[in-house]
């Protein structure tokens, strides 16, 4: 079984699940964070030989680590398990988040957007964190004085700075977004950026600065993957098989 983990209403995740099924990856199950939080049984054991997990969903479906062949993780929220009082809700949500993070971090099967201590469950990084990683990857970066970068809104920047470009990267492989192709140096930098993050699915956003060329603005692991088209689906399938 393959899992696509996403927030409720994530149409891009549903598109990916359908696309994987069309590429002979069956069964594929789309699972929301809320569905995980309301699973009737979680059994998670950490021991000297590693980690093993077994769970039963509310519909009776049972799932063990050994049944999983690959996971695409697009989770990002905190969920309060049922039956908790409002006073205990935040604590319960943090505990649940730690449980799922441990489960995904140690799964033996391929996990795209595997959580980490740096990025958390959903791979969140501050804008400053993304700029630091982009610098390490050798990408040119939009100067702060030339953009309206915002820490409060991920990817906030002045769209009028120049022509935008999006490059999708999957664990070191790249595909240009729907708005045009990048040059070889930009694509190589995006590949390095995704490897720095791990086995990640990134949308890397650039703008064309007059007289300077393409410069990095921001990146995210929560992009609308439909913009990558069938080539992106092929990359996802190749990494999850």
Beta strand segments in the chain, E? 2-6, 28-32, 41-47, 50-56, 62-64, 70-73, 111-112, 163-170, 173-176, 201-209, 213-220
pTM reported for the whole predicted model: 0.88
Region 102-122: mean pLDDT is 88
The pLDDT tens digits of the residues spanning 26-75 come to 999 999 988 988 888 999 998 887 889 999 999 999 999 999 999 999 99
pLDDT value of residue 80? 63
List residues bridging with 64 in a β-sheet: 54
The pLDDT confidence band at residue 146, using thresholds 50, 70 and 90, is very low
Strand order in the sheet with 28-32: 28-32, 2-6, 70-73, 111-112
* Distance from C-alpha of 91 to C-alpha of 42, rounded to nearest angstrom: 17
Range scoring the smallest mean pLDDT among 31-45, 101-115, 146-160 = 146-160
Q: Taking each helix axis as running N to C, give the angle between helix 11-21 and helix 229-240, from 0 to 180 degrees, rounded to the nearest 10.
A: 70
Residue 151 pLDDT more than 50? no
* Distance from C-alpha of 187 to C-alpha of 117, rounded to nearest angstrom: 27
Backbone phi, psi, residue 69, to 5°: -110, -15
Mind listing the domains of the chain with CATH numbers?
2-112 (3.40.50), 127-220 (3.30.470)
pLDDT value of residue 183? 82
């Amino acid at each position: 079984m393959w899992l696509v983990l996403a927030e409720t209403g994530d149409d891009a995740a549903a598109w990916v699940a359908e696309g994987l099924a069309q590429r002979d990856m069956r069964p594929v199950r789309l699972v929301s964070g809320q569905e995980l939080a309301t699973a009737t049984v979680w059994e998670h054991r950490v021991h000297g030989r590693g980690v093993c997990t077994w769970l039963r969903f509310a519909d009776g479906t049972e799932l063990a680590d050994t049944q999983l062949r690959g996971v695409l993780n697009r989770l990002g929220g905190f969920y309060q398990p049922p039956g908790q009082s409002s006073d205990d809700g935040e604590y319960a949500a943090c505990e649940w988040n730690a449980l799922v993070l441990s489960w995904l971090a140690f799964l033996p099967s391929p996990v795209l957007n595997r959580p980490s201590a740096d990025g958390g469950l959903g791979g969140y990084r501050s804008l400053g964190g993304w700029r630091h990683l982009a610098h390490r990857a050798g990408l040119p970066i939009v100067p702060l004085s030339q953009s309206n970068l915002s820490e409060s809104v991920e990817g906030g920047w002045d769209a009028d700075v120049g022509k935008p470009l999006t490059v999708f990267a999957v664990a070191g492989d790249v595909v240009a977004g729907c708005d045009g192709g990048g040059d070889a140096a930009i694509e190589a930098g995006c590949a390095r950026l995704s490897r720095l993050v791990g086995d990640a699915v990134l949308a890397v956003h650039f703008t064309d600065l007059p007289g300077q060329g393409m410069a990095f603005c921001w990146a995210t692991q929560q992009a609308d993957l439909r913009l990558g088209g069938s080539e992106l689906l092929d990359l996802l399938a190749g990494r999850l098989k």
